Amino acid sequence: MIKGSIEGIEDDVGAMKATCEAAVAGVKRSNMDRGQAFLLDFDHTLFDTDRFFWVDVRAAFARFAIDAKIWEESYGVVWPTGYSLDKHLEHLARQGWVADSVVAQLKGVLRERFADLRSYLFPDSEPFLKRLQTEKIPCFLLSFGDPAWQAYKVTGARISGFFHEVFFTAQEQAKAEVVEALAGRFARLDMVDNDPRELDRVKARLTQIDTFWISRVPAEALESPDPAVRERFREARGYATLTPEFSHRRCTTLDEVSW
């Protein structure tokens, strides 16, 4: 059961991490599967990370008069240690930017506001996953980032049950290594990711993989000078303007991903 608070989901996140580690260790030992499988990214592919973090999480902190520049600088300090909302808040408190008397109140706001993250899924994400489930096509989640933070978001989005296996990694090249291991189990693999560099790494090893480069950024937002628009698609805009080494099928929604 997934519990409804940041503290409450810690056991679920821990269990998910343990499952993922075991799955990574055992993927090369799995028996040969049949047919086709899908490999999906999480951030900016299934989940609107920019709206979640750079808009709403930052706004939640700003409600308590935490300066945006200080918030972002402190995020940069906390991130390498393994990010969480509580750790970010505690760092701000240690630095004197948040009064001790406010910490408990802000923790309560964060737990209430960000316990259920389903509203940050793109509208086509769950229908796409349900379609794969209905057609009995195995689906794997490959997500780059701190494993605990990624597990928190996936658990909060309530979609882990759609995946045959889930892989979180903070290491470069690790996605390609997982895909290479899975390639021996399926006759066909399709991969969807918003980062063309990840798709390039896979193509460099396995040219037969069908790769989809998805961008959730509206065309008009790519070159917009409006600071609010640029901030709304802060991370996603950067991926959308990269130049890939290999050819990938371009798409803006999962409805365009066919098999």
Dist. CA 195–CA 122, nearest whole Å:
17
Dist. CA 78–CA 218, nearest whole Å:
31
pLDDT at 119: 98
Whether residues 81 and 183 fall in one domain: no
Whether residue 2 lies inside any domain: the answer is: no
Of 113, 144, 163, the residue at which a domain comes to its end is 113
Give backbone dihedrals phi and psi of 189, rounded to 5 degrees, phi first: -125, 135
Of 77, 93, 113, the residue at which a domain comes to its end is 113
pLDDT at 33: 59
CATH number of the domain bearing residue 139: 3.40.50.1000
Whether residues 88 and 185 fall in one domain: no
Single-letter residue type at 251: C
Whether residue 1 lies inside any domain: the answer is: no
Q: Up-side HSE of residue 131: CA atoms within 13 Å toward CB?
A: 11
CA distances from 204 to 27, 48, 247, 248 (A): 20, 28, 11, 12
pLDDT at 34: 66
Whether residues 161 and 231 fall in one domain: yes
pLDDT at 165: 95
Dist. CA 37–CA 136, nearest whole Å:
9
Of 83, 113, 143, the residue at which a domain comes to its end is 113
Whether residues 151 and 195 fall in one domain: yes
Dist. CA 251–CA 205, nearest whole Å:
23
Q: Which of 166, 221, 173 is nearest to 157 (CA)?
A: 166
Map residue 85 onto helix, strand or coil: helix
Q: How far is CA 221 from the centre of its chain?
A: 21
Whether residue 57 lies inside any domain: the answer is: yes
CA distances from 51 to 18, 59, 121, 126 (A): 29, 10, 10, 18
Cβ contact 221:232 at 8 Å: yes
Which residues constitute the domain of residue 86? 52-113
List of the chain residues with pLDDT < 70: 1-34
Radius of gyration of the chain measured on its C-alpha atoms: 19
Q: Calculate the CA dihedral of residues 225, 228, 234, 237 and round it to 10 degrees.
A: -40
pLDDT at 12: 46
pLDDT at 64: 87
Whether residues 124 and 248 fall in one domain: yes
Whether residues 164 and 232 fall in one domain: yes
Cβ contact 170:144 at 8 Å: yes
Whether residues 31 and 59 fall in one domain: no
Whether residue 126 lies inside any domain: the answer is: yes
Dist. CA 104–CA 93, nearest whole Å:
11
